[in-house]
């Protein structure tokens, strides 16, 4: 009986998170276009519905009815699988993210996390690197030189920055002493947010995250100017839309993880009832998402060699120094 | 040892400062009003000397003022005006056919400047599109109809 309740609870949580996430991703595309528009002193989409609010629906319908092309010389299996890998990896990240405090419902204690894994952070990094396969295979299987170039760059860039990304959160791990994301949030309760103890790690994390989700100024794999869309060049219709959704889902996931690790998760300036504690989480994630859109409207794309040099010769040593510094601090404080 | 390190730290600070400066500019732009003119609803004021679609001025009889002298045909650099002149019973010259191919026209306004009786003029209308090229040829009737009110 307990198992049945557990299954029902998990299915309901998965469906709820998936539905909300898809809605957020759909409207994030609109939000990004609107914010970029305002940054460029124009309105952005405002024709479909009031304030352009039906634009994501129109885009979806359009993508759905487009012709689904598969290049004649493409590796058809991988070509079809690649976008699925991308979106699966991006969405799976939300399985371990704690959205809020435990709530009481029907006499059961329900935590607002789909799965409170003890290896939560490890899971995040494992699944996030799985997403790279989608991009690399997608670029390679289309039998297109630009796609191949994009895939190559994606592979090199994401693997390089994954090292620095993992190292940047190592300081948080050392302080927390656990990989469980729910535990990490609990330890930050009451203004003990990790950003106060690890401010540099937070900045490193944001920079590496940008490279990890292929956003400007690190959008090498799909550099429009020289690669004509890069890895997704041969994709059309819903397969392209899947890549697009994966990109935005990944963006939200990266911000949610930053909120969990550095900004105290659902902990807020004043305490909300447990059933509403997710509001703080959503607000902090939203601010980070806004920052990622804002910086996209500000910074131009770096050159490929500059990206690699920055990753290996600047970020990597600094994140290592951050770990050493954290270690020294902990030894001296006798923690 | 110390100098390169100091220089590196200095460079780091100037770089971060430059990045923040960029972010501040885009944030200021984000909160400023968009300069877009929402076109079909709001239209841009054109200059008084705007050279748009042509029209004919009328004479006291309500017909075109054109006396079919052919100066506009002669001066038109893109040779888009077709004129067939006839002589009326009262001895006046009259344009039997007067057509401006507005697809060829470059809207230079030379015809209006050349016209000795100020018959052909360029209006201020710029919304002039059609699905068929034939419909963009302005004949006498359309040129007369194009005359704006109250000019």
Residue B111 sits in a domain of what CATH number? 3.30.70.3270
Question: Does the beta carbon of B37 lie under 8 angstroms from any beta carbon of chain A?
Answer: no
Residue B47 lies in a domain: no
Q: Residue A221's closest CA among A301, A102, A162, A306?
A: A301
Q: Are residues B70 and B120 in the same domain?
A: yes
Average of per-residue pLDDT values in chain B: 88
Q: Chain A: residue nearest B27 by CA?
A: A39
Q: Which residues contact A84 (CB under 8 A, 6 or more apart)?
A: A134, A242
Q: Are residues B6 and B66 in the same domain?
A: no
Residue B125 lies in a domain: yes
**Looking at beta carbons, which residues of chain A come within 8 Å of B21?**
none
Contact between A122 and A173 (Cβ < 8 Å):
no
pLDDT for position B8:
81
pLDDT 10s digits, A8-52: 888 988 998 899 999 999 999 999 999 999 999 998 888 888 888
Beta bridge partners of B95: B85
Q: Residue A32's closest CA among A184, A155, A215?
A: A215
pLDDT for residue B77 is more than 90: yes
Rounded CA separation A230/A164 (Å): 24
Do the Cβ atoms of B19 and A299 come within 8 Å?
A: yes
Do the Cβ atoms of B34 and A294 come within 8 Å?
A: no
Q: Chain A: residue nearest B12 by CA?
A: A314
Question: Does the beta carbon of B19 lie under 8 angstroms from any beta carbon of chain A?
Answer: yes
Q: Are residues B128 and B72 in the same domain?
A: yes
Total tally of structural domains belonging to chain B? 2
pLDDT 10s digits, A151-204: 888 888 888 888 888 898 888 888 888 888 888 888 888 778 888 888 888 999
Which tokens go with A296?
């996209």
Do the Cβ atoms of B34 and A37 come within 8 Å?
A: yes
What are residue A72's phi and psi, to 5 degrees? Answer: -60, -40
Q: Indicate left, alpha or beta for B70 from its phi (over 0: left) and psi (-120 to 50: alpha).
A: left
**Chain A with chain B: Cβ pairs closer than 8 A:** 35
When CB atoms are compared, the residue of A42, A43, A297 closest to B26 is: A297
Do the Cβ atoms of A43 and B36 come within 8 Å?
A: yes
Do the Cβ atoms of B34 and A295 come within 8 Å?
A: no
Q: Are residues B23 and B58 in the same domain?
A: no
Contact between A163 and A208 (Cβ < 8 Å):
no
Q: Which residues of A224-260 are buried (b: 16+ CB within 10 A; e: fewer)?
A: eeebebbbbbbbeebbbbbbbbbbbbbbbbbbbbbbb
Report cis status (omega within 30 of 0) of the bond before A285: no
Question: Does the beta carbon of B30 lie under 8 angstroms from any beta carbon of chain A?
Answer: yes
Do the Cβ atoms of A43 and B34 come within 8 Å?
A: yes
What are residue B64's phi and psi, to 5 degrees? Answer: -65, 145
Q: Are residues B89 and B130 in the same domain?
A: yes
Q: Is A335 helix (H, G, I), strand (E, B) or coil?
A: coil
Q: Are residues B28 and B63 in the same domain?
A: no
What are residue A31's phi and psi, to 5 degrees? Answer: -60, -40
Instruction: Give A157 to chain B, closest Cα distance, Å.
Output: 22
pLDDT for position A335:
66
Residue B16 lies in a domain: yes
Question: Does the beta carbon of A303 lie under 8 angstroms from any beta carbon of chain B?
Answer: no
**Looking at beta carbons, which residues of chain B come within 8 Å of A34?**
none
- Pick from A33, A35, A38 the residue to mutate for testing the B interface (most B CBs within 10 Å): A38
Per-residue pLDDT averaged across A75-90, rounded?
Answer: 89
Pick from A119-133, A195-209, A261-275, B21-35: least confident: A261-275
Please report, for residues A33, A220, A327, B123, B134, the alpha-carbon distance to residue B128 in angstroms, rounded to integers and kept in the order given: 31, 44, 73, 12, 13
Residue B43 lies in a domain: no
Q: Are residues B18 and B89 in the same domain?
A: no
Contact between A141 and A235 (Cβ < 8 Å):
no
Q: Are residues B76 and B129 in the same domain?
A: yes
What ipTM was assigned to the predicted interfaces of this complex? 0.74
Q: Are residues B112 and B58 in the same domain?
A: yes
**Looking at beta carbons, which residues of chain B come within 8 Å of A297?**
26, 30
Residues above pLDDT 90, as percent of chain B: 29
Task: Identify the band that residue B80 occupies on the pLDDT scale cut at 50, 70 and 90.
Answer: very high
Range of the domain at B3: 1-32
Residue B110 lies in a domain: yes
What are residue B55's phi and psi, to 5 degrees? Answer: -150, 165
Residue B141 lies in a domain: yes
DSSP state of A271: P
Rounded CA separation A261/A257 (Å): 6
pLDDT for residue B62 is more than 90: no
Which tokens go with A283?
């607000």
pLDDT for position B105:
92
Q: Which pTM was predicted?
A: 0.83
DSSP assignment of chain B equals -HHHHHHHHHHHHHHHHHHHHHHHHHHHHHTSPP----TTTS-PPPPTT---SEEEPB-TTSSB------HHHHH-TT--EEEEEEE-TTS-EEEEEEEEETTT-----HHHHH-TT--EEE-S------SSGGGGEE-HHHHHHTPPTT-
Rounded CA separation A326/A170 (Å): 9
Q: Are residues B121 and B81 in the same domain?
A: yes
pLDDT 10s digits, A89-129: 999 998 888 887 777 777 777 777 888 888 888 898 889 88
- Pick from A33, A34, A36, A39 the residue to mutate for testing the B interface (most B CBs within 10 Å): A39
Residue B46 lies in a domain: no
Q: Are residues B26 and B95 in the same domain?
A: no
Q: Chain B: residue nearest A41 by CA?
A: B34
Q: Chain B: residue nearest A292 by CA?
A: B23
pLDDT for position B59:
85
Contact between B107 and B122 (Cβ < 8 Å):
yes
Residues above pLDDT 90, as percent of chain A: 20
pLDDT for residue B151 is more than 60: no
* More confident position, A17 or A224: A17
Residue B116 lies in a domain: yes
Q: Are residues B115 and B74 in the same domain?
A: yes
Average of per-residue pLDDT values in chain A: 86
Residues above pLDDT 70, as percent of chain A: 97
Backbone CA torsion sign across A115, A120, A125, A130: negative
Rounded CA separation B147/B143 (Å): 7
When CB atoms are compared, the residue of A40, A294, A299 closest to B27 is: A294
């Amino acid at each position: 009986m307990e198992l049945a309740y557990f299954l029902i609870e998990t299915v309901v949580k998965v469906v709820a998170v998936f539905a909300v996430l898809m809605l957020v991703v759909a409207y994030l595309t609109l939000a990004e276009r609107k914010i970029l528009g305002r940054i460029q002193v124009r309105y952005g989409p405002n024709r479909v519905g009031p304030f352009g609010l039906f634009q994501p629906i129109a885009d979806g319908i359009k993508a759905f009815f487009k012709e689904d092309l598969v290049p004649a010389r493409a590796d058809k299996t991988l070509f079809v699988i690649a976008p699925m890998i991308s979106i699966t990896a991006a969405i799976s990240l939300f399985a371990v993210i704690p959205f809020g405090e435990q709530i009481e419902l029907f006499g059961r204690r329900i935590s607002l996390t789909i799965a409170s894994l003890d290896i939560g952070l490890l899971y995040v990094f494992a699944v996030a690197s799985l997403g790279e396969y989608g991009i690399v295979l997608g670029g390679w299987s289309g039998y297109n030189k630009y796609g191949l170039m994009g895939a190559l760059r994606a592979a090199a860039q994401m693997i390089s920055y994954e090292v620095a990304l993992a190292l940047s959160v190592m300081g948080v791990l050392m302080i927390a002493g656990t990989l469980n994301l729910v535990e990490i949030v609990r330890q930050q309760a009451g203004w003990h947010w990790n950003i106060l103890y690890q401010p540099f790690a937070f900045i490193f994390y944001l920079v590496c995250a940008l490279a990890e989700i292929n956003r400007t100024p690190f959008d090498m794999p799909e550099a429009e100017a020289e690669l004509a869309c890069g890895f997704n060049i041969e994709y059309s219709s819903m397969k392209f839309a899947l890549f697009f959704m994966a990109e935005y889902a990944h963006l939200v996931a990266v911000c949610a993880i930053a909120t969990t690790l550095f900004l105290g998760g659902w902990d807020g300036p004043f305490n909300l009832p447990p059933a509403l504690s997710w509001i703080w989480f959503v607000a902090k994630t939203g601010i980070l998402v806004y920052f990622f859109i804002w910086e996209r409207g500000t910074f131009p794309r770096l050159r490929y060699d500059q990206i690699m040099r920055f990753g290996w010769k600047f970020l990597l040593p600094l994140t290592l120094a951050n770990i050493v510094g954290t270690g020294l601090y902990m030894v001296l404080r006798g923690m | 040892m110390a100098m390169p390190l100091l220089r590196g730290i200095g460079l780091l600070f100037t770089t971060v400062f430059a990045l923040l400066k960029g972010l501040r500019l885009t944030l200021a732009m984000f909160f400023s009003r968009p300069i877009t003119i929402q076109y079909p609803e709001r239209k841009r004021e054109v200059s008084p000397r705007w050279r748009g679609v042509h029209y004919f001025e009328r004479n006291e009889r309500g017909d075109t003022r054109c006396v079919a002298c052919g100066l506009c045909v002669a001066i038109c650099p893109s040779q888009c005006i077709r004129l067939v002149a006839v002589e009326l019973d009262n001895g006046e010259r009259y344009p039997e056919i007067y057509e401006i191919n507005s697809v060829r026209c470059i809207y230079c306004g030379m015809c209006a400047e050349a016209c000795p009786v100020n018959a052909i003029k360029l209006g201020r209308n710029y919304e002039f599109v059609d699905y068929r090229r034939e419909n963009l040829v302005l004949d006498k009737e359309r040129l007369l109809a194009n005359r704006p009110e109250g000019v």
